[in-house]
Amino acid sequence: MRRILVVDDDLHTRLAIRTWLKRCGFRVAIADGGRDGLAALDDAAFDLMIVDVFMPSLHGFESIRIFHRHAPTVPLIAISGYAFSGPETDNLACLKMALSLGATRCLHKPFRPATLLSVIDECLSQAEPHRRYAAAATALLEQQGATAP
């Protein structure tokens, strides 16, 4: 069972993502902001990180750089309601910045559970090409009509 760390300063976002991912069979740890997220990385190993770009204790894209430096081999999905322009799309300048700092993929909040699961699947599949993790879960959530936080 894959372990995912979700780092966001918004309680509702953390809880929604945790709920979606647990339903899909992932083990999920949540952290309230950068300090708690870094402490979680020190305490356990994760297969993937989902990190908010803008949090009160960190300045802008600093969160991506710091989390990537602490766990350089772990795929990192950067999420933001501010940094990436259109819904579920990547603004080219912000995308380039996030990728240069260590993000594997970027998502604009709010996003659908199926979108997040698809991105998780891509990231984990790139890390381990012979395994597909979330494809079945994505189909299940789409059938259930799950919505964004």
Over residues 92-115, the pLDDT tens digits come to 677 778 888 999 998 888 889 999
Task: Say how far apart CA 122 and CA 52 lie, in whole Å.
Answer: 19
Tell me the C-alpha distance between 141 and 115, whole Å: 10
Nearest-angstrom CA–CA distance, 55 and 102: 17
* DSSP SS3 for 133: coil
State the residue for tokens 């990231």.
Answer: 123
Q: Who wins on pLDDT, 49 or 80?
A: 49
Torsion of Cα atoms, 32 then 117 then 49 then 54, to 10°: -50
Query: What pLDDT does 98 receive?
Result: 84
CATH architecture observed for domain 3-144: 3-Layer(aba) Sandwich (3.40)
- Mean pLDDT over 124-134 rounds to 65
Question: What's the predicted TM-score (pTM) here?
Answer: 0.80
